[in-house]
Amino acid sequence: MKFNEAVVFKWVVIVGIAAATVIGLTLLTRPLVGALWGLVLVIAGCVYGYRWTRQWWRDLKDRPGGPDHSV
């Protein structure tokens, strides 16, 4: 699991596209609709972030020299 500039750049593009959908919905309908869609995206992002963090931490503990590493 990598964390570097290229990964973060990918997230700039993802967040940009997500924000564009929120802005589009808001302008086409009502601010409330855009806000609710934004809330859905934020919750999805939080779930993804939580799972990413758990996997990252699991990988980190299992590294050579880590507390859970087995030879």
* Rg of the chain, C-alpha, whole Å: 18
In degrees, to the nearest 5, what angle opens at C-alpha 48 toward C-alphas 45 and 51? 150
The Cα-based distances of 20 to 26, 43, 52, 63 in angstroms read 10, 17, 24, 39
Q: Taking CB under 8 A as the rule, does residue 3 contact other proteins? A: yes
Q: Taking CB under 8 A as the rule, does residue 70 contact other proteins? A: no
In the complex, what is the shortest distance from the CB of residue 26 to other proteins, in angstroms, rounded to a whole number?
Answer: 5
Q: Taking CB under 8 A as the rule, does residue 52 contact other proteins? A: no
Q: Taking CB under 8 A as the rule, does residue 19 contact other proteins? A: yes
Residues that bind other proteins (CB under 8 A): 1, 3-6, 8-9, 11-12, 15-16, 19, 22-23, 26-27, 31, 34-35, 38, 59-60, 63-66
